[in-house]
Amino acid sequence: MVRLPGPGDVPPVTFRNFVTELASTALVCLGAIRSPVTGEKTVDLARAEHVVGLLEMLVLKTRGNLERDEEEYLVTALTDLQGKLQEAKEGA
């Protein structure tokens, strides 16, 4: 049985954790990591593309308003996911 995170497992609310949550969702949708809910790897390219789109929007909407390390983390996560999404599309 898969155990869902409990109240004590909730990370602090930070920009970095927010980006990590989105990136993790995209990785689950790309089948790169197991779903924390089902424990299975499944591919949902449409949903992965949606989450990557959310990160792209976040880059545009936060431009000039982030700490340097936050912006670098966001851009690095986005660039990595864009590459993984492209690879998944080419392999589909």
Residues 23, 52: Cα–Cα separation, whole Å:
8
Segments making up each domain of the chain, as ranges: 14-86
Flag whether pLDDT at 78 surpasses 70. Answer: yes
| Mean predicted confidence (pLDDT) in 30-56 | 95
pLDDT category at 11 given cuts 50, 70, 90 is confident
Cα→Cα distances 20→17, 23, 62, Å: 5, 5, 16
pTM of the model: 0.86
Q: What is the pLDDT at residue 5?
A: 58
